[in-house]
Amino acid sequence: MREKLDSEGTTDQRWYWVSLIFMDRIFYKDKIQEWFSLHEGDKYNFKNISKKSDKDTDDDLKQDKKSEPNHFADHISYLEEFFKLEPLQMVKELGNPPEDLLSILSKIALASPAVASLRALSEYSDKYNPALFYNAALISFSFRSLYILPETISLIKGLFPDGPYWKKILNYNIAGNLQSLLDEYMYILFESLGLMNLSEKEKIISELGEHIEKVISIRTPSLYFDEIKIKNNKVGEIKKRSIRCRFAMRFGTGIVELGQEVSNISEVRNAFNSPFRPFILATTSIGQEGLDFHQYCHSIYHWNLPPNPVDLEQREGRIFRYKGHAIRKNIATKYGIKLLASSFSGNIWGNLFKIALKEREIGANDLIPFWIFNQGSAKIQRHIPSLPMSREKNQKDALSRSLAVYRMVFGQPRQEDLINFINSQFGDDIEGTKIEKILNCRIDLSPR
């Protein structure tokens, strides 16, 4: 192999992927062999993923009016054939390695979706096994469906103009720190899915892998609208048009041009509660109660204003919750360097919250740091499209005043009656000495 590295001549591009299976054969031969040897009906059979990947990619191509076939399963079979060869046989089969081989292998180790997923999942597994390999591969295959989208291709090629597309993807993942993203996301899922109550490690990593795969590869619906042509001041031809909707999704069931249902409420919610698309979720009051959107969102845009402060608080409470996005950003900013400078074991996010809990002020309530952590620039952001002198502007001011009162009477019976009474007594101005009078009348329910 040393002679190959030092030789000149035509390079063999297969080195990029053969090197990976070469190292797997050296360090994890028995474990990889066990995975490859699973039968067709076995749950963690590797070929199940490649067949699913082929089907999903073909469906996307049909949706985009293309017809090129996908043969990824054939590539997997070819990879398996190389794995069966002895190392020296592998080297003899290949030509000269590319000059950037070692650089590319380093980038793959840092930011390949498969390697990053395997590393993140291994936090929740006590050994390397087919279940771990399968779910890491499942997540990485879902990334393929994300990377083949036209807008994703345009974005990545715009940021990294030189080289083949797969190399651009590696550079993009390194720039975005894919490993940290997956570490944080799996930590959030581990708690939100209730996986801490499971004792079976295989079940934990399967739940994580399947959930992330569904989130990343969520199918995108088409939105339909009517194009109306006016002729001689009369409505003429009406044509139904469709546009693909990827980065913003409506909170409901979507249908693609092929006619099949592609997303429902739970799938859209799960996808929004991730670091991946959709980045914008437009919802009416259906998302006001009983739903959590805080995991990767700390900004809310009120399409319209609710009639009372109770509903406003309910809406904003969807993103102001336990270990929310703004809280994690502030904790990472304040304690991240301190943690990395120390020797620690276990999950990095678990350790960050331990530090934040240990260093909170004496006498601080139990909401800190899990529900409240204001030591940082990240805040819950409220956006209200109210123009000056508009009805919404006056409504916004009135709601802001009532909201301050509402928070004082929170937990009291018949809250709205109490809010209306306090507003009637103090009017629009509840600042300064008036606020002190209200506080003196408040019933304190805090623990002693």
Dump the DSSP string for 214-233: HHHTPPPPEEEEEEEEEETT
Tell me which residue of 217, 197, 219 sits closest to 209, measured CA to CA. Answer: 217
Helix axes 113-121, 101-111, angle to 10 degrees: 40
Length of the chain: 448
- Residue 408 maps to a domain: yes
Question: Phi, psi (5° rounding) for residue 112?
Answer: -70, 135
Terminal Cα distance for the chain, rounded? 72
Q: Record the pTM.
A: 0.82
- Residue 327 maps to a domain: no
- Residue 375 maps to a domain: no
Q: What is the DSSP letter of 152?
A: H
Scanning 193-324, the segments in alpha helix (DSSP H) are 201-216, 265-272, 309-316
List Cβ neighbours of 212 (8 Å cut-off, separation of 6 or more): 117, 139, 142, 185, 186, 189, 274
Domain span at residue 423 reads 388-441
List Cβ neighbours of 261 (8 Å cut-off, separation of 6 or more): 253, 254, 255
- Residue 353 maps to a domain: no
For residue 81, what pLDDT is reported? Answer: 87
For residue 44, what pLDDT is reported? Answer: 87
Domain boundary among 180, 199, 216: 216
For residue 164, what pLDDT is reported? Answer: 95
From CA 101, how far away is CA 407, in angstroms rounded?
60
Residue with tokens 């400078």: 341
- Residue 253 maps to a domain: no
- For residue 192 the two structure tokens come to 């939100």
- Residue 282 maps to a domain: no
Residues 220 and 146 sit within 8 Å (Cβ to Cβ): no
How many structural domains is the chain composed of?
Answer: 2
Tell me which residue of 311, 312, 315 sits closest to 297, measured CA to CA. Answer: 315
Domain boundary among 198, 216, 234: 216
- Residue 306 maps to a domain: no
From CA 109, how far away is CA 112, in angstroms rounded?
6
For residue 442, what pLDDT is reported? Answer: 62
pLDDT in tens, the chain (448 residues): 555 555 566 789 999 999 998 898 889 889 888 888 887 678 888 777 766 655 554 454 444 444 445 577 788 788 888 888 888 888 888 889 999 999 999 999 999 999 999 999 999 998 888 899 999 999 999 998 889 888 899 999 999 999 999 999 999 999 999 999 999 999 999 999 999 989 899 999 999 999 999 999 887 767 778 888 888 888 888 888 887 776 677 666 555 444 455 567 788 889 899 999 888 877 667 666 778 899 999 998 888 888 887 788 888 888 999 999 999 999 999 999 999 888 888 889 999 999 999 999 888 888 899 999 989 999 989 888 877 777 777 788 778 777 766 666 666 666 666 666 666 666 655 555 555 666 666 666 666 5
Residues 408 and 425 sit within 8 Å (Cβ to Cβ): no
Strand partners for 261: 255
- For residue 53 the two structure tokens come to 């990947």
List Cβ neighbours of 64 (8 Å cut-off, separation of 6 or more): 150
- Integer CA distances (angstroms), 257 to 63, 242, 261, in order: 7, 8, 10
For residue 328, what pLDDT is reported? Answer: 96
| Long-range CB contact pairs, 413-418, < 8 A, 24+ | 415/310, 416/308, 416/310
From CA 328, how far away is CA 369, in angstroms rounded?
9
- Residue 435 maps to a domain: yes
Q: Which helix (H) or strand (E) holds 244?
A: strand 234-244
Asked if omega into 278 is within 30° of 0 (cis), the reply is yes
List Cβ neighbours of 307 (8 Å cut-off, separation of 6 or more): none
Q: What is the DSSP letter of 13?
A: T
Domain boundary among 160, 189, 216: 216
